Structure 1
Amino acid sequence: MFFSVIIPLYNRPQEIDELLHSLTLQTYPHFEVIVVEDGSSVAAEAIVARYQDLLNVSYYAKANEGQGFARNYGFARAKGDYFIVFDSDVLVPATYFQTVIDGLERDGWDAFGGPDAAHRSFTSIQKAISYSMTSPFTTGGIRGNKRHVGVFHPRSFNMGLSKAVYKKTGGFKLARRSEDIEFSIRMLACGFRVGLIPEAFVYHKRRATFVQFFKQTNFFGKGRIDIYRMFPQELKAVHALPTIFTIGLFTLLLLNVFFVIFDTKGYFLSALTITGNMLLLSYSLLLFAHACMQTKSMVVGFLSVIAAYTQLIAYGTGFLESYVTDVLLKNNGR
């Protein structure tokens, strides 16, 4: 089996260096690598060139259109039986391709996705962000795993598809924002077998700061409404949970401020505020304890609480903003 690895790239030369290095360590050698520079102002051509003798790698530069169309550009030039899509900020375990082969032989997927994990070299913030994106106590339970909510949709940081899937679907139809979910839905609509290979994980760096992470997950929340507008049946009640959490959190903060300022003795509001505070504290302690057990670090455990709140608030506000502007107010701009 021959694989084509497609990597869209935009102003991340250091990341592509680390990713290509991880690919030189693969135990299964039958693959090519196609790097598509999508209008970067900081080109990585010289870095990619250093791997010419170590990998079967091709480099292409094109005008910026977004990662979805950059992947299509790579698909059109790929020779593999299966196309593997990676984001530039991943590291690939040495046995990845053999693991994929084993999973395909076992389950017969036409297209698949794999999970992500934190590498030991990641910063504490990156490990905390990785925890929040995979935890069953955050939207990690929504995104997809063995016990995922609804139909599994591969995500583009770690996605594979057969050449037949590409030929039938034509690849990505959206340039960016939820382009992988839309693509997955069309794969399934065409009758292809799409599923998870749980052992085929990659180490996903994601963002280096909580500010960057907020912007990214806010984008994800908006993207869920994009999907709803195209495929209304794909929106589930569980997708609104971060928004409900965010509204509840800000309501609780206002109640606490109200009681500090006015020192009210109202029994109902007092009980409601105290109960809310206790629930919030219990949730935070649950996150901290679980993250400490998962990461073996109290520092990462503490940062994971911050990451989880950042994720839920960012996703929730992005979801709510797009729902109001694009659905209620029917603003078709993106």
Structure 2
Amino acid sequence: MNASITPQVSVVIPLYQGEQHIRGALESVAAQDLAPWEVIVVDDGSRDNGPAIARSVVAPFPITVVPRTNGGQGAARNTGFERASGDFVALLDQDDRWYPDHLRRLLAALEPADDAVAWVLSDFDEVDAEGRVRQPAVVASRGEVFPKDLDAAISQSVFALPSSSLFRRDAILAVGGFDERLRGYEDDDLFVRLLMAGKRHRYLPVATTAYHVHGENTSTSTVFLTSREIYARKLFAGFADDPRRAEAVRRRFRATSYHDYFTALAQGRRTRAREVAASLRAIERGRRVPMGDRFLRALLRSTRLTTLVLRMSRRLPRWLSPHWPSGFALHT
């Protein structure tokens, strides 16, 4: 049992088909050297034994399992925020783990009475299914810079892990929580809206969380592409009167889409490549696109033609080769 419990922190864990993981997640919360006041496990329509396992875990704090119809992680987290009684809410995904000093370190960074600091986040380690560290201190290893300003947050991925974040509950509720339409980009969307509301964040350059990397990749799903389109349109609408930032958003999703397209093409997944190209056209529909980009968009409609042009270009002198987007040659 923990010697110290803080009434300030509620923990929210979305649960969906997580019977293999939820006990470990809860035990990592119970092992904190500063325990939370409560844990709210939001059962997002699970059909396995995960909810029963969560109820069976013994901890020095109450564990409440809240059932709801399946709505995705964002919707589950919102349910947890609404049910939480603490001033601060810490998020933990069902398959991630906290190191014992996680809550103590993050709470100490938020305790000063500065309401403009709405959340704090830390670095994290990437681990495999057996819990072995594959990449220590991922944020530092990627050269990510925190805290981020609004320009950085809209022009690239925020790269903030929810499981390594602690929020002021009132700040989250004030901006409407997670956008429940998104099943991808929901984290970036929330952080951007907090920044747009004038809120700030702090960063701890120490890994306090073990982030579990799955074999599957949700960023390859059609649902994820739909979320990308919704998020991009939200950003365009938010910066309708700011052409510089709107163009930064367009460039970001152009680069991301090119990367995904060429990666899919290299893997022989032509249907996926066509889906990515269609998603990019949807994102840029109604927006001014430079002539060179318009030509490339037209080319990408045909995966066979794109492959043929690339093969031909490799036989040309370097100075005559088409100017492909960054990463093209690496992924084909």
Give the CA RMSD over aligned residues: 3.8
- Given that 2:109 and 2:120 are in contact with CA atoms closer than 8 Å, whether structure 1 keeps it comes out as no
- Given that 1:222 and 1:318 are in contact with CA atoms closer than 8 Å, whether structure 2 keeps it comes out as no
* 1:100–1:217 CA distance, 2 compared to 1 (3 A): farther
**Structure 1 CA distance, aligned partners of 2:263 and 2:176?**
43
**Structure 2 CA distance, aligned partners of 1:56 and 1:121?**
28
Show structure 2 runs of 5+ residues with no match.
1-5, 237-245, 288-332
Structure showing greater relative contact order (alpha-carbon pairs closer than 8 Å, 6 or more residues apart): 1
* 1:190–1:249 CA distance, 2 compared to 1 (3 A): closer
Equivalent residue, structure 2, for 1:117: 125
* 1:7–1:190 CA distance, 2 compared to 1 (3 A): same
* 1:320–1:161 CA distance, 2 compared to 1 (3 A): farther
Of 9, 34, 38, the residue aligned with 1:28 is: 34
SS in 1 for 2:61: coil
> Offset at 1:249?
6.8
* 1:194–1:134 CA distance, 2 compared to 1 (3 A): closer
SS in 1 for 2:21: helix
Residue 173 of structure 2 is aligned to residue 216 of structure 1: no
Equivalent residue, structure 2, for 1:13: 19
TM-score, scaled relative to structure 1: 0.64
Residue 41 of structure 2 is aligned to residue 74 of structure 1: no
**Structure 2 CA distance, aligned partners of 1:45 and 1:37?**
7
* 1:6–1:24 CA distance, 2 compared to 1 (3 A): same
> Offset at 1:34?
0.4
Residue 235 of structure 2 is aligned to residue 235 of structure 1: no
- Given that 2:147 and 2:203 are in contact with CA atoms closer than 8 Å, whether structure 1 keeps it comes out as no
- Given that 2:257 and 2:280 are in contact with CA atoms closer than 8 Å, whether structure 1 keeps it comes out as no
> Offset at 1:203?
0.6
Identical aligned residues as a percent: 22
Equivalent residue, structure 2, for 1:181: 188
**Structure 1 CA distance, aligned partners of 2:180 and 2:202?**
21
- Given that 2:126 and 2:211 are in contact with CA atoms closer than 8 Å, whether structure 1 keeps it comes out as yes
> Offset at 1:235?
1.7
Partner amino acid for 1:197?
L
Greater shift after overlay, 315-324 or 84-93?
315-324
* 1:135–1:5 CA distance, 2 compared to 1 (3 A): same
- Given that 1:7 and 1:34 are in contact with CA atoms closer than 8 Å, whether structure 2 keeps it comes out as yes
> Offset at 1:325?
4.0
- Given that 1:145 and 1:198 are in contact with CA atoms closer than 8 Å, whether structure 2 keeps it comes out as no
> Offset at 1:12?
0.8
* 1:72–1:198 CA distance, 2 compared to 1 (3 A): same
CA deviation profile, 1:111-143 (whole Å, cap 9, x unmatched) = 23333313487377x83xx68x7686xxx56xx
> Offset at 1:156?
2.8
Show structure 1 runs of 5+ residues with no match.
254-308
CA deviation profile, 1:269-315 (whole Å, cap 9, x unmatched) = xxxxxxxxxxxxxxxxxxxxxxxxxxxxxxxxxxxxxxxx9xxx9x9
TM-score, scaled relative to structure 2: 0.64
Partner amino acid for 1:179?
E
- Given that 2:90 and 2:166 are in contact with CA atoms closer than 8 Å, whether structure 1 keeps it comes out as yes
CA deviation profile, 1:4-28 (whole Å, cap 9, x unmatched) = 1111111111211110111111100
- Given that 1:243 and 1:317 are in contact with CA atoms closer than 8 Å, whether structure 2 keeps it comes out as no
**Structure 2 CA distance, aligned partners of 1:185 and 1:246?**
23
The number of equivalent residue pairs is 259
**Structure 1 CA distance, aligned partners of 2:25 and 2:107?**
20
